[in-house]
Chain A
């Protein structure tokens, strides 16, 4: 869907993006991660053709990105905003027409969305009469009204209450199911694991990590396991096939050990422990995206 190749963007002596390349597959949900100021918004603005890169290219469905692609992209900026004094219905239609829809098409789509999200009564309202959450909802509709193939969402859940955040999340998933590719940037890691197929991590203008979420998490496994057993507390003499990272007391006489296996396998651990105690659980710890994020960012810092 989107192929970003060797993008470099500089602002007055400061390099916002340094040789960033990304592949975003069609029909997938792609997460663009990175701490504040990493260059996410710069990259998003380049994809939206708000700014142009100093060097490097962007390809949209195999074609060099150009003005005709604007109609296929929907963009929800992090800084939300609509015309405060304009009626919502009229405003949405105007924005959709700027994206190439005719008035009739826009009106029909708007009716559909307003009904779907329970906003029918908002048609004649002005933005300034709405609450912040309602404004966000309206802006989301404006983003997807023209049925874009690529939906770019910059921090889509900020500013929503949990109910509306969930509503929007489901809408995003549904749009994705219908074939839309989603690119969203966020620092909310839970939503990344829940929603994204692939991610790219950008820090200090460099891409430092990308790939499928599952692969990344698996590749960050570092032989760490969690063990829970019941009975009297074990003492180790150093001959055990693992090293202890931490030990905690659980409830009802249970104990939890976070351990690191140094070349041995889970079988070795079980074999060693079976005669000594009653094992409730032995589980490999797969690092969360949050942990990977923090680790990678700190590493490059």
Chain B
């Protein structure tokens, strides 16, 4: 046990000390923060018109021109110029456009002429105002009291989606749950790959540098494998903790300045059972990692270089990739479908499938416990199989391993 601790310590320290680890630790939250800022900026920018837009109004119907009100960055200029003459002015001014309203505006479309494509905000504003004016005109023509009507229109009904659970009703923020579910699935998927591959690379490094024989003369192969897996796993957990802490700090700072959709998202995020999701995430990350990294270690032990890993990697990564693709396309829309339930029970697919379901909150306790139990059995099983292959594999040099060969190794006596 003391030796396993030593191995864990070495594996952990050599990795955490690497520059790449520190870079990742700060770069990823910065990247995420930067991207959300960028998205917020871009969406904000398209919200508004950056420059004042002049709109010349040629109104043949004489019903609108005086009634169009200037809005933010939109200036309406009524004019009597003929269309052809006004068009010439467009060449000189990019921010100028011409609104042509024919006499029979209800049947011939209103034309909006400009040098560049007008923004949706601009045309939308024009459309809104014209509709308003047109309907007011129609009402007046039919002797309807517009003031009274406007009063009546003030009644506004908001539909608020409520979900009935044991704990009472709560806001069903389906969008946020989806977002968190997909984010968890992606994070689990990526981290299983990243840290599994690190274990594999570590095993290959020990094998190709031939230090394996020195180490194996001091500790049992299983101790070395276990130490490596746990050491790398701790690196992963450190990375996650750092990210979580940094993002909490970032949202605390950024949250004060968050506006619009971003602020709303943050509010709904706080409504999610954060502790419950975090617990499930850590559980599925740890068990999923143990399950897959053992297999990665076995693969690493069977080959002499990283390029030879292809044939073994494929069957290992298939279930992961399969669930991941299903998750981000289908499962998040139907988190309680039979497919999702089944996938969240099978240990090889459960880490991703279950993490899609958990943020929705509808997973029955028995399913969660069954799935967690299966995960534990699953990783004990793969670790056992992997250890038997590993102990033979690490001492085999220059032998091209096949699946048949691996099966043989499994049955070797001590």
Chain A residues engaging chain B, CB cutoff 8 angstroms:
12, 45, 48-52, 54, 67, 70, 73, 75, 77, 79-86, 94-95, 97-99, 139, 142
User: Contacts of A51 on B, CB cut-off 8 Å?
Assistant: 395, 414
14 additional contacts, CB 8 Å, given A75-B217, A77-B213? A45-B395, A51-B395, A75-B213, A75-B214, A77-B210, A77-B217, A79-B213, A81-B209, A82-B209, A85-B14, A95-B218, A98-B7, A98-B215, A139-B214
**B30 touches A (CB below 8 Å):** no
| 5 A-B pairs closest in CB distance | A81-B210, A98-B218, A77-B213, A48-B217, A79-B210
**Distance in Å: Cβ of A142 to nearest Cβ of chain B:** 7
Inter-chain CB contacts under 8 Å: number: 62
Residue B408, interface by CB 8 Å: yes
Return chain A residues, CB-CB under 8 Å to B3.
98
Contacts of B10 in A (CB 8 A): 94
A-B contact pairs, 19 of them (CB 8 A): A48-B216, A50-B216, A50-B395, A51-B395, A51-B414, A52-B414, A54-B413, A70-B218, A73-B217, A77-B214, A79-B210, A80-B210, A81-B213, A83-B206, A83-B209, A83-B211, A85-B14, A86-B14, A142-B214
Question: Bound state CA distance, A52 and B216, in angstroms?
Answer: 13
Give every chain B residue within 8 A of A84 (Cβ-Cβ). Answer: 205, 209
Which one, A48, A50, A97, contacts B6 given CB within 8 A? A97
Contacts of A95 in B (CB 8 A): 214-215, 218
Assembled-state Cα–Cα distance A51/B206 (Å)? 18
Q: A9–B220 Cα gap in the complex (Å)?
A: 19
Query: Contacts A12-B408, A54-B413, A77-B214 given: A98-B209 contact, CB under 8 Å?
Result: no
A97 neighbours in B (Cβ, 8 Å): 6
Per-residue 0/1 for B179-212: is the Cβ within 8 Å of any A Cβ (1 yes, 0 no)? 0000000000000000000000000011001111
Check if B211 sits within 8 Å of A82, measured CB to CB: yes
- Are A50's CB and B209's CB within 8 A? no
The answer to whether A94 and B213 have CB atoms under 8 Å apart is: no
Across-interface contacts of A77 in B (CB, < 8 A): 210, 213-214, 217
Q: In the complex, A51 Cα to B218 Cα: how many Å?
A: 12
Complex interface: chain A residues within 8 A of B414 (CB)? 51-52
Interface status of B21 (Cβ within 8 A of chain A): no
Taking the nearest CB of chain B, how far is it from the CB of A102, in angstroms?
11
Chain A residues with Cβ below 8 Å from B413 are 52, 54
Give the chain A neighbours of B218 by CB distance below 8 A.
Answer: 70, 95, 98-99
Interface size class of B (residues with CB under 8 A): 20 to 34
- For residue A50, give the distance in angstroms from its CB to the closest CB of chain B: 5
Main SS at interface, chain A = loop
Q: How far is the CB of A36 from chain B (nearest CB, A)?
A: 14
Within 8 A of A (CB), among B369-414: 395, 397, 408, 412-414
Residues of B within 8 A of A54 (CB): 413
Chain B residues at the A interface, C-beta cutoff of 8 Å: 3, 6-7, 10, 14, 205-206, 209-220, 395, 397, 408, 412-414
A54 to B414, CA, bound (A): 8
**CA separation between A187 and B412, bound complex, in Å?**
30
Which A residues are in CB contact (< 8 Å) with B210?
A: 77, 79-81
State whether B14 touches A50 (Cβ < 8 A): no
* CB pair A70 B217 closer than 8 Å: yes
A12 to B397, CA, bound (A): 15
Residues of B within 8 A of A139 (CB): 214
Question: Which residues of the other chain, A, contact B408 by a CB distance below 8 angstroms?
Answer: 12
Q: With the chains together, A48 CA to B206 CA distance in Å?
A: 18
For B395, what are the chain A residues with a Cβ–Cβ distance below 8 Å?
A: 45, 50-51
Asked if B211 and A50 make an inter-chain contact with CB atoms under 8 angstroms apart, the answer reads no
In the complex, the answer to whether A81 meets B212 with C-beta atoms within 8 Å is: yes
B14: chain A residues within 8 A (beta carbon): 85-86
Distance in angstroms between the alpha carbons of A206 and B136 in the assembled complex? 110
Inter-chain contacts of B397 with A (CB < 8 A): 79
Instruction: Write out the residue numbers on chain B whose beta carbons fall within 8 Å of the beta carbon of A70.
Output: 217-218
**What is the CB-to-nearest-CB distance from B414 to chain A, in angstroms, rounded to a whole number?**
4
Q: How far is the CA of A99 from the CA of B214 in the complex (A)?
A: 10
Chain B residues positioned under 8 Å from A86 (CB to CB): 14
Give A94's nearest chain B residue, CB to CB. Answer: B10
- Closest B residue to A54 by beta carbon equals B413
Residue from the list B6, B209, B217, B412 in contact with A94, Cβ < 8 A: B6
Return B41 CB to nearest CB of chain A, in Å.
42
Please name the residue on chain A nearest to B218 by beta carbon: A98
Chain B residues lying within 8 Å of A82, measured Cβ to Cβ, are: 209, 211, 214
> B223 — nearest CB in chain A belongs to which residue?
A98
The chain B residue with its CB closest to the CB of A71 is B218
Is A50 a contact of B219 with CB atoms below 8 Å?
no
- The complex places the Cα of A98 from the Cα of B412 at a distance, in Å, of 26
| In the complex, chain B residues whose CB is within 8 Å of the CB of A80 | 210
Q: Which residues of B contact A75 (CB under 8 A)?
A: 213-214, 217
Give bound CA distance, A90 to B14, whole Å.
11
B10 to chain A: closest residue by CB? A94
In angstroms, Cα B2 to Cα A99, docked, is 11
Bound: A77/B395 CA distance, A: 12
CA distance A272 to B218 in the complex (A): 65
